[in-house]
Amino acid sequence: MSALVSSALAHFDSHFAPYLRCFQSRTRSVENAARQYLHGLFQSSRRNMECMAETVAESGYQQLHHMLSESHWDRREVRRQLVADANDHFGYASGLLIDESGFAKKGELSAGVARQWNGRLGKTDNCQVGVFAAVARDGVASLVDTELYLPSAWSNDAARCEAAGVPEDRRAFRTKGEIALELVRRLRRDGLRFSFVAFDGGYGHLPWLLRELDGERETFLAEVHSDQAIFLDDPAPAIPDSGSSKGRAPSRLRTDASPASVAAWAAAQPAAQWRRLSIRGGEKGEVIADYLTQRVWVWDGKSPSAHRWHLLVRREMDGTTLKFCLSNTKPGASLRRLAEMQAARHFVERSFEDAKSACGMADYQVRRWQAWHHHMALVMIATMFLAKERLAHRDTADLLSCRDLVEIMRHKLPLKIVTDEDLAASIANRHTRRRRAMDSAYRRQQEMLSASNCNAI
């Protein structure tokens, strides 16, 4: 363990070196500010720029702000390097996990903010929502791409988009499912190697998304809702004969087969059909559940033919919680393979927990589109480093956590405040920024009063 601690900073510098080109242009480089921001994601008690500027050695608030909000470094190059790292350390056997995460916000100025479902809080609230992609293998996951969701209230308001810096090519409304498909496509286009895509029922209930992935030969495992309709035999949809020369000829596809919901089918299966499997080990013991699988036909009522896919049902040991999944993996896939693909879904939630608790994913205080994506790109560089270290030390430190690594980084990185004079200077700088902000607010207030011909009392 002592060797791991002593080499951590050198390992981080080696990890960050391939990303340096992403922060350089012909005329300017913001690589030092990017490095300091990454240090701040590890060091600061709160990971916003003001706290970083008071914590990270040699950093300055204006330099960090310019790098995050104003500089036009290319986050697409960051994504491509994340793909290279993922290929080197996660490999083809990894799964690509798609999910969304919400970030509670006040006010109406932050790009994409609206009253919408915030899964983190479990309720509808004023928040921003991002759709994310993560790679996972052997219980370790790391985020590799994201896109901020823009509600229709934003996409229909050009002035609001302009004020928040939303690029013109991103202002058209796209559903979260459309964003998810775009993430899969561009990561595959960038060369990311993964064996399957997995997502929850929020995406699995979209039949068009499953058909698109199937048509592009992407293997998926999608959780679906309990009312998902299935057929045990091919429904063979067809346009029925009119049976008469009078009236309008039928034009809609029909089937004589009767569907069943996945919940009803599972409830009708005898106890002997369920198989109990241990999928992986955990800190609280083995992860054990009961499973059912069946090859079924799925038809959305519109497509010219039905698709034959796997149905997987997972039931927790207490018998109260069931999850239903569809997968287009090869017909001969084993129950264990399907169960392991479903279990991988858990690790996208872990990647969010690690990114938020260890790397300040939700601590940003920015409003504009570019700054949000820049912050997330830097968080993903940080979480990839943590993932690489955990995978590299799996044999010698199998319990190594993101928290452990952040603690090591905090110990190794130099601090800005060491002496009494450093602390006094930091407080003075903070007061200067507060005074400037107050003066600016007073000026704006006076301008508003003058414009309305009112006098302050």
Q: The domain containing residue 75 runs over which residues?
A: 2-200+348-412
Burial class (CB in 10 A: 0-12, 13-18, 19+), 116: middle
- Tokens matching residue 105: 């916000």
Distances (CA, A) of 245 to 242, 248, 250, 257, 282: 7, 8, 11, 26, 67
Reading the chain (457 residues) residue by residue, the pLDDT tens digits are 677 787 888 999 999 999 999 998 877 899 999 999 999 999 988 888 988 998 898 899 999 999 999 999 989 999 999 999 999 999 877 899 999 999 999 889 999 999 998 887 888 999 999 999 999 988 899 999 999 999 999 999 999 999 999 999 999 999 999 999 999 999 999 999 999 999 999 999 999 999 999 999 999 999 999 999 999 999 988 877 766 666 566 668 888 888 999 999 999 999 999 999 998 877 677 889 999 999 999 998 888 899 999 999 999 988 778 999 999 999 999 999 999 999 998 899 999 999 999 999 999 989 999 999 999 999 999 999 999 999 988 888 878 889 999 999 988 888 876 666 666 766 777 777 778 778 877 887 887 777 776 654 4
Domain shared by 191 and 48, yes or no: yes
Q: Are residues 195 and 110 in the same domain?
A: yes
Among the listed residues 287, 337, 288, the one whose alpha carbon sits nearest the alpha carbon of residue 312: 337
In a domain, 417, yes or no: no
Pair 30, 165 in one domain: yes
**Tokens (6 digits) for 393:** 């030390």
Residues 107 and 186 placed together within one structural domain of the fold? yes
Do residues 154 and 212 both lie within one domain? no
CA 390, 31, 391 angle in degrees (round to 5)?
Answer: 10
In a shared domain, residues 115 and 138:
yes
- Rounded to 5°, the CA angle 393-396-398 comes to 70
The answer to the question of residue 265 being in a domain is yes
CA dihedral 339, 343, 344, 348 (to 10 degrees): 150
Q: Which of 323, 343, 363 is at the close of a domain?
A: 343
Please state, in angstroms and as integers, the Cα–Cα distance from residue 354 to each residue in 30, 88, 154, following that order: 26, 21, 30
Residues 154 and 124 in one domain: yes
DSSP string, 48-99: SHHHHHHHBTT--HHHHHIIIII----HHHHHHHHHHHHHHHT-TTPEEEEE
**Is 268 within the bounds of a domain?**
yes
- Shared-domain flag, residues 289 and 221: yes
- How many domains, the chain? 2
**What backbone torsions phi and psi does residue 367 show, to the nearest 5 degrees?**
-115, -30
Same domain (yes/no): 327, 353: no
Q: Please identify, among 412, 428, 448, the residue that sits at the C-terminal boundary of a domain.
A: 412
The first and second tokens of residue 366, run together, are: 């920015």
Is residue 438 included in any domain, yes or no? no
Q: Do 167 and 48 share a domain, yes or no? A: yes
Residue 35 and residue 180 in one domain = yes
Measured over the CA atoms of residue 362, residue 363, residue 366 and residue 372, the dihedral's sign is negative
Q: Confirm whether 450 is domain-assigned.
A: no
Q: Show which of 412, 429, 449 is a domain's final residue.
A: 412
| Burial of 178: CB neighbours in 10 Å, binned 0-12, 13-18, 19+ | middle
